[in-house]
Structure 1
Amino acid sequence: MSNFKMITYRPEGVYKGPHFFILNKGLNSGKPLKKPCPNCFVISCNSESEKESLYWIVYSLHQGKQFQIALVGSVIPFIRKSDLIKIIADAQKVTSHKPEAIKRTVSSLLQLEQQEENYKRIQNTLKQLRQVLVHQLIKQ
């Protein structure tokens, strides 16, 4: 189990070492992010491998909608830092005995992410092609 630190993101802050961000407001609260946004926490880790493992645990929790139960607030839902830390720590305890399963799952998730990026590129190319075809029709 890793010892991570979680702090509230400040745009003027300098974050050194392995870290990633977690969205803390809205219906997507708990979503791990590679780049910061105004409403997020920063998770700092001791090593790059620890960061990767923790990132994918948080990703899995978010995809499994495990953070939904901890959302509070009537207009704009948000997740409390203490609740987020507890959910992540509990998930770490469960997954700490399965390092090979984590590696396999992370590998599969990375492949899916690459495939999703490929589909986005294809979709953008199709959109551009559609625009060219319509533009050619109008010019004639």
Structure 2
Amino acid sequence: MSNFKMITYRPEIEYKGPHFFILNKGLNSGKPLKKPCPNCFVISCETEKEKESLYWIVYSLHQGKQFQIALVGSVIPFIRKNDLINIIKDAQKITSNNPEAIQKTVSSLLELEKKEENYKRIQNTLKQLRQVLVHQLIKQ
């Protein structure tokens, strides 16, 4: 099980070592991020492997809407740091028993992420093509 540290993100601090960010406000609270935003926590790990494993555990928890039960606040929902830590640690205990399954799932998720990026590029290209065709029609 990983020994991670979680702190509130501050833009004036430069974070070193393996780390990622977790959104802490709004309906997407708990979403792991590669780049920081104003309303997030920073999770720091000891190794890159630990960070990747933890990132995908948090990703899975977010996709499974496991953080929604811990949301508080009536206007802008948010998740408390201690609640987030407890949910992540509970998931780590469960997943630590089967590292092969985690690796297989992470590989599949990475493949899906690559396909999603490819589809976004295709969609953007189609959008540009549509604009060119419409522009040609108007020019005639």
Q: TM-score range by the shorter chain?
A: over 0.9
Following TM superposition, by how much is the alpha carbon of 1:14 offset from its aligned partner in structure 2, in angstroms? Answer: 1.3
Runs of 4+ in 1 over 3 A off after TM superposition: none
For 1:76 and 1:44, locate their aligned partners in 2 and report how far apart those are by CA, in whole Å: 26
CA–CA distance in structure 2, aligned partners of residues 31 and 44 of structure 1: 16
Please give the root-mean-square deviation of Cα atoms over the aligned residues, in Å: 0.3
Structure 1, residues 1-45: CA drift from partner, whole Å, max 9, x if none?
010000000000111100000000000000000000000000000
Deviation at 1:99, TM superposition (A): 0.6
Per-residue Cα deviation, 1:59-97 (whole angstroms, up to 9, x for no partner):
000000000000000000000000000000000000001
* TM-score when normalising by structure 1: 1.00
Residue 5 of structure 1: aligned partner: 5
CA distance in 2 between partners of 1:98 and 1:59 (Å): 17
1:108 corresponds in structure 2 to 108
User: What aligned pairs does 1:31-110 form with structure 2 within 5 A after superposition?
Assistant: 31-110=31-110
Report SS of the residue matched to 1:42: strand
Q: Percent identity?
A: 89
Q: CA separation in 2, counterparts of 1:126 and 1:14?
A: 39
- SS, match of residue 65 in structure 1: coil
Number of equivalences = 140
Q: Which runs of 5+ in 1 are unaligned?
A: none
